[in-house]
Structure 1
Amino acid sequence: MKNNQKKRFSIKTARRKKGDVKPLARFTPKKKEEQIEWKDKLAKHRTQIATRIIVFVVVLALATLFFYVRYLNKVYTNYEVLNHVDFQVSAGAEVELLGDSFLVYGSDGAKCINSKGEVIWNITYEMQNPMADIDGDVVGIADYNGSTIHMMDKTGVLGDINTGMPIREFCVSAKGLAIAVLDDAKVTPIYIYSAEGEEKAFFNTTMRNSGYPISLCISDTGYLVGISYLYVDATSYKTNIAFYNFGEVGQNKTDNLVGGNTYANAIVPDIQFVGDSKAVAVADNRLMIYSGDEIPTSSGEVLVQDEIVASFYGEEYVALVHNSTDGENRYRIDIYDSNGKCQDMVYFNDDYTDIFFDAGRVIIYGPEKCLIHNVNGIDKYYGEFGPGVLAVMPTNVSNRFVIITNSAIETIELQ
């Protein structure tokens, strides 16, 4: 009988109807209370952990905000010299930043030096009117009306470009390319070269069709080119802005021309790429913005009342310099973002050598004075960096700079 009972139980189990639920294990009231108590403890423990994490995150955020606000509002009034190296700059030589080094060049040669005064590379040449163009860590040096462009970066010589025709204007890209406006009898040739001198592309322009190229730029990608042409006839003048694409997009376009605009009664002496997908052009009374990483098109225009006497560029901002009319300062610098919105206005009452942007700051310096200003913020420092400053280089420490004068290289810390 027992065997039959087991068999019947097995058959009944195998034939359980769909939807039937297997009976749950039975708990005594004591076990149920223990289970509820265990769940309450687990929930309480999890709540405590979550609360501690939230408190830690809030405290960390408040501490970060406190120190950030403190940094933004900290004003420096003096500086300490941390390191001094004797270094002589020849009379008439120019000094510019080349990455995290200095470029010193003149009519008889050029060299790259680091913050310790050590020479990284040195080249010699003979030039009457040396021109230099820098993009990131790459520099090109050529003589006006010469036929050679020397290409270097901060580590050494990249190569020489022999154009075979007089050079009137040129610029370089951070990828090691150079674009040059050359002089010929009937046309104005424009060539793109690699740093080693290989011809990548070229096209010819004429005064009759386009005008004369007065400014040009090449994007970091190396295949977008922007050119400002000045066209003058007997009764009027205008500027033609043209963009060329030497990548796949421009292959089926005449002379790779993909777009541009014409500005009547305007001279546009400066055009510059700011990043891979933005370009800005500056006239004497307006700022023009173009957007597009393949076909740049006009995305904004800002008309200004006061004459623009100079312009400077960063990845995020453009600085337009005007003669000040407030009676107290010599210059007013309006700072625009890459969308054409004015973000700040800064005044400067001294001679300036350069204006550049670094980590949300605009830095204006000349031989005697230096102004460090947070964009949309306060003046962080205004004063001297020593006599005869030729160049100022920021470091990865916000209040530390490297300066070069006619006789020394110094690392200083604002206090």
Structure 2
Amino acid sequence: MSDYKENENDLTNDRDLNENNMTIFLSSPEDEDFEPDEEQTSSGGKIRIAILILILVAVAGFAAKSLFFSKKLYKSYEVSAQSAKTLPEDAGYATDYGKLLSYNSEGISIYNEKAEIEWNAALNMTNPKITVNSGYAVVADIGGRNILVVNHKSVPAAQVSLTMLNDILLTDISEQGEIAVLMQDEKGYDIQLINPFDKNNSLKAEIKTYSKDDGYALSLAMSKDGSKLVTEYVKTENNEIKSTLTFYNFDKVGENSNADRIVGVFPFEDTIFPKLKFADNNTVCAYGDNKIVCFAAKKEPEILWEKKVAGKIERIAEDKNGFAILVDESALLQANTGGVASDSAIEDDYIDSDYLTGEADSNSKIVLYSMHYSGGRVYSNEVDINPKGMSYNDGEIVIYSDTNCIIFDSNGNIKFKNKFNDGITSFTQAGVRTRYYAIVGKKLKVMRLSE
């Protein structure tokens, strides 16, 4: 309170001083010029110059530091921890909340940064698929009926097992652990929104659709807070592929729309979207086979931007800040060796516009594009390995093949590049920019980059 009173007094004094200055100025004779004291003017100018110099020095120092770290190249690594046992050959992997999740049809294990098993559980699934989000994971038996939902923020992790009444086709999970499950029904499809950790009312909403009208369910995405959902259905008409993106809203906006909570429908021709993903609660991207479309979905959805991809998309990875795609442009290079007329519309319409305009520097087959959710390109880089996997974390991109790994920093500079003769199964960031989970030689190795 004393600070507030002191500031209040300062304001009062300043106000009184301003009023006095105004009175003196207005009452002065018209033939007299108001001139500030030269000593005060000189002193004030010196202070302003000194402050300006300090600001410039601070900014220059920050810029130099940022430039140094953004271009830092790590030439080696050290293994800080290693798993005691080999990991199953048929295992799948995901990283989330600074941990590594390993799973197959028989079980799931969560490893920490000491390469120790923090928690595990048995599974009985034929075709398990995992989806993670901010400390929660859902493992669903695609084509079966079993689901395991895990909260691995705590140690040991908490788990809930569910058995659905119909065969599971698609799932997604929110940041609060709510799940969306799309199942095959007798007449079409059944979509359920479930909070498995709420024992009183686990079923939050249910939607019925019909395949005769909608087509085949290909993809599904849930917003971070679980309030929105988007689905894709694909069908063939007159030998043409048609897909439909349907947006659902489960808060007040959806309540006022209709009984099915549908707030938007977007048809597309000659395009399918194998992956849908919310960047945040109000932005969702549809990653297609020949284009990427980004929507604003705060209320009624609308297209923010749409860009075509002339090459073939090999890999897609994203986080809350942006996304990356690996594009095979070998066919594009052969078809456009002479290039086409440069046109600003080409750059606006295509992600890989430099190859369409014949401006590529080499005949690289695989090109990496780092993008903002605004549709702008951060950078593009050629990749000289056959990509097996890719991850995107806070602007950093990790790409690996069977034996090679490349890490790009947020500015597109190569941060680390190495060959592993024992073979790479998985290589992902472990939550710290210099620490990584690597499945090399059938063992989990926690690696720390070094100079």
1:24 is aligned to: none
1:159 is aligned to: 160
1:192 is aligned to: 193
Unaligned residue ranges in structure 1 (runs of 5+):
1-36
The 5 Å alignment of 1:12-161 reads 44=43, 53-154=51-152, 155=154, 156-161=157-162
Paired with 2:83 and 2:370, the residues of 1 have a C-alpha distance of: 35
Would you say the 8 A contact 2:291–2:307 is kept in 1? yes
Paired with 2:196 and 2:382, the residues of 1 have a C-alpha distance of: 40
1:198-252 CA-to-partner distances (Å, cap 9, x unmatched) read 1111111112222221100000010100111102245433000110001110013
1:318 is aligned to: 323
Residue type at the aligned position of 1:118? E
Report the 3-state secondary structure (helix = DSSP H, G, I; strand = E; otherwise coil) of the residue aligned with 1:209: helix
1:381 is aligned to: 416
Q: Taking structure 1 as reference, are residues 52 and 223 closer, same or farther at Cα in structure 2, changes over 3 Å only?
A: same
1:339-374 CA-to-partner distances (Å, cap 9, x unmatched) read 222332222232434322223222212332121113
2:209 is aligned to: 205
Paired with 2:229 and 2:261, the residues of 1 have a C-alpha distance of: 10
Q: Taking structure 1 as reference, are residues 81 and 224 closer, same or farther at Cα in structure 2, changes over 3 Å only?
A: same
Paired with 1:50 and 1:394, the residues of 2 have a C-alpha distance of: 46
Q: How many aligned positions are there?
A: 378
Residue type at the aligned position of 1:414? S
Residue type at the aligned position of 1:292? A
Would you say the 8 A contact 2:435–2:446 is kept in 1? no
Q: Taking structure 1 as reference, are residues 84 and 310 closer, same or farther at Cα in structure 2, changes over 3 Å only?
A: closer
Would you say the 8 A contact 1:231–1:237 is kept in 2? yes
TM-score with structure 1 length normalisation?
Answer: 0.83
Give 2:284's match in structure 1, choosing from 274, 279, 284.
Answer: 279
Paired with 1:280 and 1:234, the residues of 2 have a C-alpha distance of: 28
Residue 132 of structure 1: how far off its partner (Å): 1.1
Report the 3-state secondary structure (helix = DSSP H, G, I; strand = E; otherwise coil) of the residue aligned with 2:87: coil
1:257 is aligned to: 262
Residue type at the aligned position of 1:93? A
2:371 is aligned to: 336
- After superposing the two structures, state which structure 1 stretch, 99-108 or 381-390, moved more: 381-390
Residue 158 of structure 1: how far off its partner (Å): 3.8
Paired with 1:383 and 1:251, the residues of 2 have a C-alpha distance of: 54
2:450 is aligned to: 414
Paired with 1:145 and 1:408, the residues of 2 have a C-alpha distance of: 30
Paired with 1:396 and 1:210, the residues of 2 have a C-alpha distance of: 41
Report the 3-state secondary structure (helix = DSSP H, G, I; strand = E; otherwise coil) of the residue aligned with 2:235: strand
Give 1:361's match in structure 2, choosing from 367, 373, 396.
Answer: 396
Paired with 2:195 and 2:420, the residues of 1 have a C-alpha distance of: 39
Would you say the 8 A contact 2:220–2:276 is kept in 1? yes
TM-score with structure 2 length normalisation?
Answer: 0.76
Q: Taking structure 1 as reference, are residues 331 and 159 closer, same or farther at Cα in structure 2, changes over 3 Å only?
A: same
Q: Taking structure 1 as reference, are residues 397 and 171 closer, same or farther at Cα in structure 2, changes over 3 Å only?
A: closer
Structure whose CA Rg is larger: 1
Unaligned residue ranges in structure 2 (runs of 5+):
1-36, 334-361
Does 2:262 align with 1:248? no
Residue 56 of structure 1: how far off its partner (Å): 4.0
- After superposing the two structures, state which structure 1 stretch, 338-347 or 393-402, moved more: 393-402
- After superposing the two structures, state which structure 1 stretch, 89-98 or 324-333, moved more: 324-333
Residue 376 of structure 1: how far off its partner (Å): 4.1
Residue 277 of structure 1: how far off its partner (Å): 1.5
Report the 3-state secondary structure (helix = DSSP H, G, I; strand = E; otherwise coil) of the residue aligned with 1:274: strand
Residue type at the aligned position of 1:286? K
Task: Supply the RMSD in Å over aligned alpha carbons.
Answer: 2.7
Report the 3-state secondary structure (helix = DSSP H, G, I; strand = E; otherwise coil) of the residue aligned with 2:293: strand
Residue 408 of structure 1: how far off its partner (Å): 3.5
Paired with 2:103 and 2:430, the residues of 1 have a C-alpha distance of: 22
- After superposing the two structures, state which structure 1 stretch, 179-188 or 353-362, moved more: 353-362
Report the 3-state secondary structure (helix = DSSP H, G, I; strand = E; otherwise coil) of the residue aligned with 2:280: coil
Paired with 2:163 and 2:133, the residues of 1 have a C-alpha distance of: 20
1:131-151 CA-to-partner distances (Å, cap 9, x unmatched) read 111122211012122222110
Does 2:355 align with 1:346? no
1:217 is aligned to: 221
Residue 385 of structure 1: how far off its partner (Å): 5.6
Paired with 1:296 and 1:411, the residues of 2 have a C-alpha distance of: 43
Paired with 1:398 and 1:163, the residues of 2 have a C-alpha distance of: 40
Q: Taking structure 1 as reference, are residues 150 and 264 closer, same or farther at Cα in structure 2, changes over 3 Å only?
A: same
Would you say the 8 A contact 1:146–1:166 is kept in 2? yes
1:293 is aligned to: 298
Residue type at the aligned position of 1:266? T
1:370 is aligned to: 405
Would you say the 8 A contact 1:224–1:294 is kept in 2? no
Residue 285 of structure 1: how far off its partner (Å): 1.0
Paired with 1:193 and 1:90, the residues of 2 have a C-alpha distance of: 31
Residue 54 of structure 1: how far off its partner (Å): 4.6
Residue type at the aligned position of 2:196? A
